[in-house]
Structure 1
Amino acid sequence: MGLIKEFKDFAVRGNVVDLAVAVIMGGAFGKVVSSLVNDILMPPLGLLLGGVDFKDLMVVLKEGYVDPAGVEIVAVTINYGNFIQFIVDFALVALAVFLIVRLINNLKKKEEAATTPPPPTVNKTEVLLEEIRDLLKK
């Protein structure tokens, strides 16, 4: 019974629930950002680069062929274009996340500034009275 109660306490703890929500939201957000990169940003970037699709860039180490038994032997290639594509994807995803976090932080700063009351104003009479009091103490 102790193990079940301990697991229940662990599972309903706020940190675990927050982590679960973060993982779910992160997965959904990842799909949105991937679509932004692949469907919105990459087509114009490829067009600017002369219609180059990075995924097609490769170095062929050994050509593919069909052996005498009729079995197709695939080519051996270094697909550096995929690597470039992943680097571009990562950079764009990092930029998108940075801009979103920056926007959220700016909104928080504005909210905090709006809720912070202005410091109390001190009028000249109060300042003079404090100076007189301090002189009388001496």
Structure 2
Amino acid sequence: MLNEFKDFIAKGNVMDMAVGIIVGAAFTAIVSSMVGDLINPIIGVFTGGVDFTNNYAVLSGEVPVGASLEAAREAGASVFAYGSFLMAVVNFLIIAFVVFMLVKMVNRVKAAATKPDDVAPEVHTGPSQLDVLLEIRDQLAKQR
């Protein structure tokens, strides 16, 4: 059983998957930083710094007027945090678009790297083997 496990781990697709997960985790940190540190502040400039995270409706419990979502939760109130959900959806759409653009760029670079060099013009080097055989046949037919 131990040998089977070693064979399973040593297979290339398991190792590829492990590398993919590790790279994916590192890439997630990069994309999250890009969205949080670069893109969201730019969007905040155009939207006037609107942040829906603290928009919620109190379902039960007492919350002081104007309290943040975190303060409402700490007070033990049951809240319907629609603003937090809306911001999560917006962040997802931004991250998905950034990942799409990065994948598109990587595919373009990969396609340029595998693009064949300019094809040389076809050079006529003489008759083909079939042409020579047909000519021999015709010559033999004339001699008879």
Shorter-chain TM-score tier: 0.7 to 0.9
Q: Indicate whether 1:81 and 2:83 are aligned.
A: yes
- TM-score, normalisation: structure 1: 0.74
1:65-116 CA distance string (max 9 Å, x none): 6xxxxxx8533321111111111111111111111111111111111214x5
1:91 maps onto 2:67 in alignment: no
Assess if the C-alpha contact under 8 Å between 1:61 and 1:77 holds in 2: yes
Q: Does 1:36 align with 2:34?
A: yes
Structure 2 counterpart SS, 1:77:
strand
Deviates more, 1:40-49 or 1:14-23: 40-49
Q: How many pairs are equivalent?
A: 125
Amino acid at match of 1:100: L
Where do 1:51-130 residues align within 5 Å? 51-64=49-62, 73-114=75-116, 116=117, 118=119, 120-123=121-124
2:66 aligned residue: none
Displaced runs of 4 or more, over 4 A: 133-138
The 3 A distance-change label for structure 1 pair 117 and 14 is farther
Preserved contact between residue 64 and residue 76 of structure 1 (Cα < 8 Å) = no
Displacement of 1:59 in angstroms is: 2.1
Match of 2:115, SS state, is helix
- Normalised by the length of structure 2, the TM-score is 0.72
Shift in Å, 1:46: 2.2
Larger Rg: 2
CA-based RMSD: 2.8
